[in-house]
Every structure is written in structure tokens, then in C-alpha cells.
Structure 1
Amino acid sequence: MHLMMYQVFEKLGPSLFDFLKRNRYCPFPVDLVREFGRQLLESVAYMHDLRLIHTDLKPENILLVSPEYIKIPGYKRSSSDEMHFRCLPKSSAIKLIDFGSTAYDNQNHSSIVSTRHYRAPEVILGLGWSYPCDLWSVGCILIELCTGEALFQTHENLEHLAMMERVLGPLPEHMIQRANRGAEKYFRRGSRLNWPEGAVSRESIRAVKKLDRLKDMVSRHAESSRHSLTDLLSGLLKYDPSERLTAHQALEHPFFKNAS
């Protein structure tokens, strides 16, 4: 008699990405982003305490525990237009999934990790990576939940770095000078990004130009919490991984302490 082995998983709701997509990429309210962010950082802090690095944090890998939602009136495109509704999850409870790329800090690390949009600069520059690469991804995720759109919508390294500089300011020179052989080509004379000279197309230059500075992006979508959220995101999206907030530090940030 053959014994069949089955893996059983609990039934969870849709991913945050699927929820955004079904909701016409309508952003989540900032209070909900706060709840999602707190739980995500608690999960990451727990993993890091176990010396594990997730390496593939993204909205597709964060599931709502419950599929239930409520519909509320959203907006009218024009006076004659029908009313559009937006959906909100009934519960803010989430779970982190997909540990297939998870690595121990002390094991050999592959050179490329993370899904493109959530990939930290030290990975692109070939400087090696550790726990801080997860916190960069968390920063990208929080902005996406606030705006409804991925922060860095790109498929190419030079454009990705140019987008980072557009949103966050220039890359530190000490990181540029340590970039590996493969990344040297993105810079002129080892100190300045080869942009827009190295752009592959005019569309690429336009895609970078239309991005806002971080604080302007946050102000448009999270008026009530703009100062604390901008400060938190600035700490999560520090170029230098040694200066980036840890998960435990981020959880102590005023954004999670004050609900205003």
C-alpha cells in the first residue's frame, strides 16, 4: 500500500498586489498601510532574529488572512459618470509567504536577489547584500501601498539607478567606486551616473523624468502622516545598507507610535 504525502496550507485571502489590481490600483488608506507595515516589519524582524533573509519581499508575497472586503463609494470621474466604488479589506491581518529564496546570513549568497522593482542598490552594484536588502524592499512596498503603483517600474539596471537618483538624490560616491566590474559601465569616470547619455530610449528618459521626489510623492497620498511617513521611508531607502534602518528600529519609528 502506497502512503501519499500531502502538504496542507491554511486558506488565506488574496495578496496585497491582487487586491490592488482588482481595486483598479486604488491606494490603501494610510492607516491601513500603517497596520500592514507594522505586521510586515514584525515578520521581517522575526526572520532576521533567526538569521534568515527573505530576499523576495513584494506585495505578491504578502497575503490578507481573510478574503472579505467592504465596498465604499469612491469617486465620480465626471458629474454624469457613474459612481466608482473602492474596496477595503474587512481585516488588516496579513501573513508573509514564499520562503523559497530565503537565505541564511552565513551561507553563500547568489549575486542577484529580489524581484526587480524591490531590488536594493547594493545588489545592482554588486557590493554584496545582507539583512538590509529586505528593508529596502519594505520601503518600496510601503510606497506602493500608499500610491497604488510600484515605485521603480523598470526592467533595466541603468534606468533603475536613474529612477533611484530622481526620487532619492545622488548615489554615494563610495558605493559607486566599489561597484563591481559589471556595474562600472553605468557610471562616467567612476563618479557620476551615465544618465541620460546611456539611456536606451526616449521613453526611458521620460519614465525617469515623470517621477517625483520622495517627500512630494508621500505628500500627495498621505497628507495627514506625510512627515513621519517620509522620515520612515527615508530611513528604509537609505542607499548605504549600513545606514538603513533595521526592522526593529523601524518598528520604533514615530509613524507606528503616533496615528496622526
Structure 2
Amino acid sequence: MFILRLRRISPRPPPAPSPRSDRPRTPPPTRRDGHEYKQEQQATPQTEPDREIELELPPSPPPVEETLAARRARRQAILAKYAAISSANVSQGPSPSPGPSSAVEPPPETPDVSNLPSQAQSLIGTPSRADSVRADSIAPEARRTASVSPTPGSFSLAKGDGEEQVQVQNAVGEQVSAADYDPSLDRREDEQKRVWGVKDDPNDVEMEEEEDDVEDMFAIATSEKRVKKVKRVVKPAVPAIVTATLDSASDPEGYYQIILGEQLDGGRYQVFSSLGKGMFANVVRARVLQGESGEVGKEVAIKIVRSQESMYKAGLKEVQILNKIRQADPEDKKHIVRLERTFEHRGHLCLVFENLSMNLREVVKRFGKDVGLNIRAVRAYAHQLFLALSLLRKFSIMHADIKPDNILVNEQKTVLKLCDLGSASDASENDITPYLVSRFYRAPEIIMGHPYDPAIDIWSVGCTLYELYTGKILFPGRTNNHMLLLMMELKGRFNSKMIKRAKFGEQYFDELGAFLSVEQDRVTGMDVVRKVHITQPTRDLRQRILPSGSVKLKDEESKLLMSFVDLLDKCLALDPSKRITPKDALLHPFIRG
């Protein structure tokens, strides 16, 4: 708050009249010893003291530079806090480092960051002493292979001033923050729909249109408009899924009730934290107590599958796929999480994985909330994701649940691993279901009931990369119906061939190709159907990513952003047959540079 001080000067008072000469003078008082008291002469002020008037002025909004400086200060505070947490974890024992990656190479030159905490140094890519030892121990052939990779080993997660200004200017309209999104909110809804076959219409609405009366030429003309009647059908709540076993170690839904400090697999592992739960299992972090030399004290992640027959079979299927991937990638260069071993504990199938740091949603929340990550960090992550998809496509495997929550990174945030293959399947197992993949990352062919293939993972990666750079969700649809509307607003109309081939095409489009948008009436609150004719896109992807004319970037930065927009455009093609493949994506200018 600014305070303006104003000084007011009072006029001089008139001179005091002189005392009369005929008035007798009063003698000064005397003390006992005969001396006179000395009276203090108080000078008559000629002017009144200056008065200060304080006026409170409303604070002006801070400039953009101060806003960016405040964000950088908050980010540095987060880095310092995270460094303290990491140092506490290191004192308990080092975490195992992932295998050598084809996408990470120590930078030729490293900045001077000796004054920063150790964890902050690792976040900006400075190799530690242990990293140097590991780099020296890598075979020359492996180092030559890594040097071919276009992905830098050192990149900043935080955006620069210019990129943050772009995101501030492009943040127009209602956008959902990717950092604040909780995927577990949609998990229960999708699970109920998949298992019990609940319809996707919002509020379970069934519409009945009243038949038009036969036109009567003698009827009295009226200006009253006929209103379509909408009948709301209230359906009973879907009951909770009850586990098929009565094991006291499981809750009513079949999830294992975790006990911290409990030992698993005959005392081989000891649980010390819970990492959360998904639709198929819950995950804990444990420490190895017994094992081969060098493994004792190592931290691992254990996925405990729900004690249901269907979930158990899905777990065995995931183990089979992960073992196939491990055999195909013995050097661990394709960025898919490594399965170490399996065991059973109190009726639950348990999968032991390598331990990693955090998922990409947490990375965005810590280092780029509402503004996203640095474009070079997005480029490095994109390269590694397409390497993972290239291996999956080689074996005709669909991951079918790619999102930032299912992508983990190492402590240095330079290497990622695609995880959670519980929904993965062979491309030949093309079961039509409109609830495959989390809704915000669900490809249009899944929603419409069109035959799908591994191209659904390319769509999910495109949505994920957009989130990483902008910090916002690309298609925050409330329902499948709303998702299709948002897709067409960005990419235009679906072709007629795709609509006719889709199993649920008639549910979303009429005979003339108009989209049947289910919306809520503002007055009655009832859900009504509005026909929407979309031919051309009404939203521009470039506008959301590229800067306006007021923000000038370097030619190199501008070309990189243009190639990023082009890659996203190819990943988000409505027709899956025209979507870019992992092989072509790895050769794209955004990846190769």
C-alpha cells in the first residue's frame, strides 16, 4: 500500500501586544537562601508545527516482471524444501539408480552451482560424484550409442521468463489445471460403468420426444413454440463391488489393507510407506531385508493386486507382458518400468518393481503449476515416451492408460519410465468399450465404438505432452459426449465413414451428420439435446501454445515451438489411420532437432 504524505504550513500569528509600562513588575520568587529562582523562558512559537496528512491510495497491480520474479522465488523455495526432504531420505540409504538410458547423456559443460543444495543441483542436471562413477563404468559402446540420442542429459524443468509470459497471455477462458486434477475421482465412475454397464448420459437421462400433431389448416394460429419434453429417470445407485474372498486382509472392495512395518514374502521385504491405489491394485514402497549381495537395503515398489478373480487374471496378464518387454529390452533403454519378480501374499498377487521418484503430474505440480514445464524438458520426455511406444508397437501391445500419473521419473527428473500396464492388451483383443483409458486421455474411436489399435496410445501421449508444456488439460470433458464436442471444436468434424463404422455413431450423430450435444438447461436444470453443426475448428491449437506478437522469442525457440505444435497436431488426428506412428514421431523435427 502506498502512503502519500502532504505537509500543510499554517499562517504566522499576529505579534503579541506589548505589556503596559504602568503595570507593576512582580518580583521573582526567592529561595530560603535568598537567591532567585531562574525561570525558564519559553519562547512563544511564531508558527504552528507542520501538520502531515496521510492519504491512503489503492495499490496498483504489480507488473508482469514482479509476478514472474515472485513465481521464481516460490520455485526456489520448493527446490530448497525438496532438497531437505531428499537429504533425509539419502541418510536412510541410497535408492537404486535406473539402468543406462539412451536418452540421457552427461552435458559437456556444467554450470557453477556449488552454492546450491545437492538436490537442487541434481534438478538442474549437475551430475553428482556417484553419477560420474556410473558414467565412467559404462562401456564405450554404450556411451557411443547414448551420444547419438538427440535428447539432452541436462535440461531445466522450469520455464524461462519469455515462456511464462506466453502462458500468462494464453490463459484465456475456463481451463482445468493439470496439477490439481485427481484421476481417482473418475476411477470409481468409470469402473462402475465398465462393470455394470451404466449409460454415459449425464445424470442418466432418457429423452422422449413428443409426437407432432397432424397439421390442421383450420387450427387457430399460435406463436407458442413447441418444447421438447425431457424425462428424467432416476436410477438406483450402483452397489459397491464386493470381493469374492472373505480374507480379513482385504477391504470390501478387495484392496489389501496395508500395515506399515509389515514384512512380505517371508520377511524378504518390509513395507514403510503407501503410494496410493488404482483401479486394479494398491502400491506400497518397501525395503529389501533379505536377498543377494548388494540388494539388502534397496528400496522397491510393490503392486498388490486386488483379491478378485478378474483382477488376479489381469495381474497375471500384466506379468506376462512385462516379462516379454524385459526380454526384448535387456539393456533397459526403452523406458518401460522393470518388473523384478512376483510372489503371493495372503491371497494377493504381488509384483515387485524398481523404485522411482515421482510421476509427471507431481513434477508439473512442483515445477510448473499452471504454466507448465520448459519446452526442452517436454522434448526430452517426448523422445523417451515415443521410444517406449515403439517397443510396445513392435509387439502389437496397447498400453491403454497413458497419462501423467502412469509415467514415473528418476530422482534427477531426467529419465522417465512408462508404468501401470494393468490395462494393456494385445492389439487383436479389440473389445469395444467406451470407457477404456482415463476420460481426459481417451481417443475418439474408443468413445464412438470404432475399432481401435495402438494408435490410441499416440492420442494419449499427445494430450499428455500438451499438459506438460501448458500445465492445463487439453480436453476436460465432463462426459464422453462433451469430450467429442471439445475434440471437434479443436480438430473439426469427423468424417462420415468413421461415424458409420462406429458402433455408437447413432448415439452422437443424426442422419445428416449433426452432433447431438447433451447440455443442461440453465432455467430448468434439465438435460436437453442440442444439434450442433461443426464443419471447421473453432479453436486454434497454435493460439494456445505460440506467443502473441507482443512477446518476441529467439528464432531457435520459435522454430522449436512451431515443430511442437506440428507434432501435437499429428498426434491428435481424429482419424486413427492418419495419426503419426512412434517411428515417424522419433524422426520428427521436434525430436531430432
The share of aligned pairs that are identical, in percent, is: 32
Match of 1:215 in 2: 542
TM-score, reference length from structure 2:
0.36
Q: Within 1, Cα distance between the matches of 2:386 and 2:586? A: 7
Once the two structures are overlaid, the 10-residue window that deviates more, 154-163 or 186-195, is 186-195
1:44 CA displacement: 0.9
Q: Within 1, Cα distance between the matches of 2:521 and 2:378? A: 35
Letter in 2 for 1:12: L
Please identify the structure whose Cα radius of gyration is greater: 2
Q: Within 1, Cα distance between the matches of 2:385 and 2:398? A: 13
Q: Which residue of 453, 457, 461 corresponds with 1:130? A: 453
Letter in 1 for 2:545: V
Pair 201,53 (structure 1): closer, same or farther in 2 beyond 3 Å: farther
Q: Secondary structure at the match of 2:475?
A: coil
Q: Within 2, Cα distance between the matches of 1:226 and 1:158? A: 31
Matched, 1:158 2:470: no
Q: Which residue of 391, 405, 427 corresponds with 1:105? A: 427
Letter in 2 for 1:9: F
1:193 CA displacement: 1.4
Question: What pairs with 1:106-255 in structure 2 (closer than 5 Å)?
Answer: 106-112=428-434, 113-180=436-503, 182-195=504-517, 198-200=518-520, 212-220=539-547, 223-255=558-590
Q: Within 1, Cα distance between the matches of 2:470 and 2:402? A: 18
Match of 2:395 in 1: 50
Q: Within 1, Cα distance between the matches of 2:511 and 2:558? A: 41
Q: Secondary structure at the match of 2:519?
A: coil
Q: Secondary structure at the match of 1:9?
A: strand
Q: Which residue of 364, 367, 389 corresponds with 1:20? A: 364
Is the CA contact 1:177–1:190 (under 8 Å) kept in the aligned structure 2? Answer: no
Pair 40,28 (structure 1): closer, same or farther in 2 beyond 3 Å: same
State the Cα deviation string for residues 184-212 of structure 1 (Å, max 9, x = none). Answer: 122232512124xx32356999xxxxx84
State the Cα deviation string for residues 25-83 of structure 1 (Å, max 9, x = none). Answer: 330111100000000110011111122110100000011111xxxxxxxxxxxxxxxxx
State the Cα deviation string for residues 159-189 of structure 1 (Å, max 9, x = none). Answer: 1111001111222222122222x34122232
Q: Within 2, Cα distance between the matches of 1:8 and 1:191? A: 50
Pair 120,108 (structure 1): closer, same or farther in 2 beyond 3 Å: closer
Pair 145,199 (structure 1): closer, same or farther in 2 beyond 3 Å: same
Is the CA contact 1:177–1:191 (under 8 Å) kept in the aligned structure 2? Answer: no
State the Cα deviation string for residues 86-132 of structure 1 (Å, max 9, x = none). Answer: xxxx4321111001000011235352311100111111110121111
TM-score, reference length from structure 1:
0.79
Is the CA contact 1:158–1:199 (under 8 Å) kept in the aligned structure 2? Answer: no
1:3 CA displacement: 6.4
Pair 212,146 (structure 1): closer, same or farther in 2 beyond 3 Å: farther
Q: Within 1, Cα distance between the matches of 2:502 and 2:569? A: 22
Q: Secondary structure at the match of 1:167?
A: helix
Q: Which residue of 406, 416, 439 corresponds with 1:94? A: 416
Q: Within 2, Cα distance between the matches of 1:190 and 1:17? A: 41
Letter in 1 for 2:516: N
Letter in 1 for 2:566: D
Q: How many residues align?
A: 226
Bigger helix share? 1
Is the CA contact 1:14–1:63 (under 8 Å) kept in the aligned structure 2? Answer: yes
Matched, 1:65 2:392: no
Is the CA contact 2:432–2:450 (under 8 Å) kept in the aligned structure 1? Answer: no
Is the CA contact 2:448–2:505 (under 8 Å) kept in the aligned structure 1? Answer: yes
State the Cα deviation string for residues 208-253 of structure 1 (Å, max 9, x = none). Answer: xxx8421211214985523211111111111111111111111111
Q: Within 1, Cα distance between the matches of 2:418 and 2:489? A: 30
Q: Secondary structure at the match of 1:149?
A: coil
Is the CA contact 1:176–1:190 (under 8 Å) kept in the aligned structure 2? Answer: no
Pair 61,187 (structure 1): closer, same or farther in 2 beyond 3 Å: same
Pair 115,224 (structure 1): closer, same or farther in 2 beyond 3 Å: same
Q: Within 1, Cα distance between the matches of 2:425 and 2:456? A: 12
Q: Within 2, Cα distance between the matches of 1:201 and 1:25? A: 31
Pair 179,200 (structure 1): closer, same or farther in 2 beyond 3 Å: farther
Q: Within 1, Cα distance between the matches of 2:547 and 2:583? A: 28
Q: Within 2, Cα distance between the matches of 1:60 and 1:145? A: 12
Pair 46,201 (structure 1): closer, same or farther in 2 beyond 3 Å: farther
Q: Within 1, Cα distance between the matches of 2:446 and 2:501? A: 12
Letter in 1 for 2:399: H
Q: Secondary structure at the match of 2:577?
A: coil
Letter in 2 for 1:18: E
Is the CA contact 1:121–1:239 (under 8 Å) kept in the aligned structure 2? Answer: yes
Is the CA contact 1:111–1:128 (under 8 Å) kept in the aligned structure 2? Answer: no
Q: Secondary structure at the match of 1:231?
A: helix
Gaps of 5+ in 1: 67-89, 206-210
Q: Within 2, Cα distance between the matches of 1:46 and 1:3? A: 32
Match of 2:279 in 1: none
Q: Which has the higher contact order (CA 8 A, sep 6+)?
A: 1
